Amino acid sequence: MVTPKEQQLAWVRAVMAHLGISPNELATRAKMAPSTIQKPLNDPAWPHMLSGRTMAKIGEIAGLQPMEFPPRSGGGFGEPEATPYVFNKETDAIGSNLDRAVRELCRGRNGRDPWVMRSRVLEMSGILPGDILIVDMNLQPRPKDIVCAQLYQWQLGKAETVFRVYEPPYLLTNSGTTSKPVPVDDQDVVIKGVIDGLVRPRQ
């Protein structure tokens, strides 16, 4: 089982790899003491987790939310299957209506995040590129649920966010093409949430 502390540190390493910087440089950019980052990364016995404030500062530097892994390229990872939904800052009616719909689906419950699907890995489940998926991180996955999962490469400090059909104990694509099932082991493959809402923007 991956602990919350391990997840935090995997995210910090992924951010450093994404930015191409060292722990010292990350601390400098975040305006914090180098030991704040170095101790948890270098000392397996370090008992504390990073604070929410520290996580927020690191995320701000990378343009990410805390625990939002950056998209990866190379090393076995291609273009991201999905990207976090970014609310439109424009005031046009289409953008505003879309934002309102997404906000309404996320309102009133913690742990609900919108993502934009970029691939066709679930097209036979009716999910197409451009669809906005609402991920509820508090739901327990059931067979045939569409889930959001992360695939970790711990030694490289990498993680990939994917969307799959859950057929215990495997994650499957549903696009009409052959794809190897991925076993969920709660270590290298971790389900983060269940899709329980979808918005399809008007084309």
Grade residue 75 by pLDDT with cuts at 50, 70 and 90.
Answer: very low
Q: Look up residue 179 and give its two tokens.
A: 């794809």
Phi, psi of 41 (to 5 degrees): -70, -35
β-partners of residue 112 are 136
Phi-psi region for residue 176, left (φ > 0), alpha (ψ -120 to 50) or beta? Answer: left
Is the CB of residue 72 less than 8 Å from the CB of residue 16? no
Q: Measured between alpha carbons, how far is 73 from 143 in angstroms, rounded to an integer?
A: 31
Average pLDDT, the chain: 84
The pLDDT of residue 74 is 41
Judged by average pLDDT, the poorest of 71-75, 76-80, 194-198 is 71-75
Do the strands 158-167 and 146-153 form a parallel or antiparallel pair, or are they unpaired?
A: antiparallel
State the average pLDDT over residues 48-68.
90
The pLDDT of residue 91 is 47
State the average pLDDT over residues 34-48.
86
Is the CB of residue 67 less than 8 Å from the CB of residue 11? yes
Question: Each residue of 8-26: pLDDT tens digit?
Answer: 888 888 888 777 787 888 8
Grade residue 58 by pLDDT with cuts at 50, 70 and 90.
Answer: very high
User: Look-up: residue for tokens 């289409």?
Assistant: 94
Question: Each residue of 110-163: pLDDT tens digit?
Answer: 888 899 998 989 999 999 999 999 999 899 999 999 999 988 877 666 778 899
Please report, rounded to a whole number, the percentage of residues in the chain having pLDDT higher than 90.
34
pLDDT at 95 over 60: no
Please report, rounded to a whole number, the percentage of residues in the chain having pLDDT higher than 70.
87
Q: Let me know how long the chain is.
A: 203
Alpha carbon separation from 182 to 20, 27, 108 (Å, rounded): 29, 36, 33
pLDDT at 76 over 50: no
Residues 6+ apart with CB under 8 A from 162: 81, 82, 121, 148, 149, 150, 151, 171
What are the start and end residues of each CATH 1.10.260 domain in the chain? Answer: 4-62
pLDDT at 71 over 70: no
What are the start and end residues of each CATH 2.10.109.10 domain in the chain? Answer: 82-199
The pLDDT of residue 73 is 47
Amino acid at 126: G
Give the CATH number of domain 4-62. Answer: 1.10.260
Q: Measured between alpha carbons, how far is 150 from 119 in angstroms, rounded to an integer?
A: 16
β-partners of residue 172 are 165
**Looking at domain 82-199, does it have CATH number 2.60.40.10?**
no
Neighbours of 27 (CB within 10 A): 20
CA 128 to chain centre: 19
State the average pLDDT over residues 97-105.
88
